[in-house]
Structure 1
Amino acid sequence: MVAVRRYPVKSMLGEDVEAVPVGSSGLSGDRAFALVDVASGRVASAKNPRLWRGLLGVDVATAGDGVRLTFADGRSLCSADPDADALLSERLGRAVRLTATPPAAASLDRAVPDEVLTQGETADVPVEETPLPPGSFHDFAPVHLITTSTLDAIGAATGDAVCAIRYRPNLIVRTPGIGYTENAWVGRDVSVGDTVLRIIAPTPRCAVPTLEHGVLSRSREALRVPARDNRLEPLPGMGLHACAGVYATVTRPGHVSPGDTVTVL
């Protein structure tokens, strides 16, 4: 069985969804918007926590063709509000614009995860410019899955339950046992409802799982454990990375709903 989430604005908090269409670009409404840093032209991402960790404190709800953002103090705004960019820039301390149109040759800055673990999320650590897929705000692939077995394996090692939202998956798949079950799915098709996904790579983790997510406090172990127990090479030539979850493309479009059966084909 599966739980379903989407993240209407890149690096902000997500929302549980009911039946949702899934096409070649992923779940409808997922990463539909993002902030662009006016100074650099790059997409704002909590992968660079020194600048953008505050995004993970903003609740988002899809509202028609747009989104409603709600801050920790209860103040909210809609993407259609004429002063949305000014308010977001004031909140974040940098000039930004909220957009549903990915810039040409869009990219983001990804802080080196080990440096963030060592020096902290406010430190000015090295960043790597990372291109995004053309016409998309997704990091690498349109769909991200993680199993409860993986979450339980990380939780068993930390001695505390691990909340899936730290890893920002679209699909949380209930699986028996403890272990990185989805590693064995790479290269295979998986059906979810009437949708078929091709699992293409383990998901290399950045510093994001370690950060505060709304009411969730920091957890360095959310990255340290997979770095110790599940270091994989996501794609040839990438080198070893801490991994948890898998990336997927859409082989057969359809719909996914909470409770759908997941079958590895």
Structure 2
Amino acid sequence: MTAAGSVVQVSVYPVKSLGGRTVREAEVGPAGLAGDRAWTVVDATTGERVTVKTCPQMAEVVATGDDEADTITLTEVLGRPVRLRRSGQPQVDAAAVHLVSRAAVARAAAGDVPEGCSADDPRANLLLDLPEGEDERTWVGRTVRLGEVEVSVTRTPKHCLGVYAEVRRPGTVRVGDRVEVLPS
């Protein structure tokens, strides 16, 4: 087992495409962090999903947890009637959990940013502090323990920082939890 740092931030994005909120801990199940991307924004007239890709201003809105207030805010920001719809499963793009290190954020701030990615908001579930020289991108194909949770790192994102992972062992992840890369 290789010690690879600690969890320094846990973020949940309750509404797909909106800003997230940090929490001290989160339950992690097979589909990801509890409450993460549990709601989607849909056009109130057509019922079609509205995302940050077509409406970038959505990323500036942080869900409050009050569905009515969030709907009013989004309608004002987008200039058209929308509503929130509960999703059956979290609406993730590629994997259950998105991990990003502080080193990746620093590389992005220095200009090493994938096309289409925001260095200011990597939209990660877990921000990690890793020892100097450690790079989460080398974890693809490996199992990583985050406190009591174990994830299998599946790939690097095309348009984001960090890595994507699937949950192997559910549990609770907390700020301060140790991060360990397990032997192959």
Does the pair score TM above 0.5?
Answer: yes
**Residue 86 of structure 2, aligned match among 89, 100, 104:** 100
For 1:77-116, list aligned pairs within 5 A. 78-79=66-67, 81=68, 85=71, 88-102=74-88
Equivalence map 1:1-265=2 (5 Å): 1-2=6-7, 3-38=9-44, 41-48=47-54, 52-61=55-64, 67=65, 78-79=66-67, 81=68, 85=71, 88-102=74-88, 135-157=89-111, 166-177=121-132, 181-205=135-159, 243-265=160-182
Measured after TM superposition, the shift of residue 24 of structure 1 is 0.8
CA-based RMSD of the aligned residues comes to 2.4
- Counterpart-to-counterpart distance in 2, 1:53 and 1:16: 21
CA distance in 1, matches of 2:38, 2:95: 14
| Alpha-carbon distance change, 85 to 173 in structure 1, aligned in 2, over 3 angstroms | closer
Taking structure 1 as reference, are residues 88 and 150 closer, same or farther at Cα in structure 2, changes over 3 Å only?
closer
Query: Post-superposition shift, 1:166?
Result: 1.0
| TM-aligned CA deviation for residue 38 of structure 1 | 4.1
The CA distance in 1 between the partners of 2:166 and 2:179, in whole Å, is 15
Is the Cα–Cα contact under 8 Å of residues 149 and 176 in structure 1 kept in the other structure?
no
Greater share of helix residues, 1 or 2?
Answer: 1
* 2:115 alignment partner in structure 1: none
Bigger Rg, which one: 1
How high is the sequence identity, in percent, across the aligned residues? 37
TM-score (norm 2): 0.82
Q: Distance in 1 between matches of 2:120 and 2:31?
A: 21
State the Cα distance separating 1:40 from its structure 2 match: 5.4
Aligned counterparts of 1:28 and 1:157: Cα–Cα separation in 2: 33
Structure 1 residues 91 and 157: CA distance shift in structure 2, 3 A:
closer
Q: Which amino acid in the other structure matches residue 171 of structure 1? A: L
Residue segments in structure 1 that go unaligned for 5+ positions in a row: 62-66, 68-77, 103-134, 206-242
Could you give the per-residue CA deviations for residues 186-205 of structure 1, whole angstroms, max 9, x where no partner exists? 11110001000011110111
Shift of 1:244: 2.0
The one-letter code sitting in structure 2 at the alignment partner of 1:94 is R
Distance 1:164 1:193 in 2: 26
Question: 8 Å contact 2:63–2:70 — kept in the other structure?
Answer: no
More strand as a share of residues: 2
Q: Which amino acid aligns with 1:191?
A: R
Unmatched 5+ residue regions in structure 2?
Answer: 1-5, 113-117
Residues of 2 paired with 1:245 and 1:40: CA distance? 35
Conservation of the 8 A alpha-carbon contact between 1:152 and 1:178: no
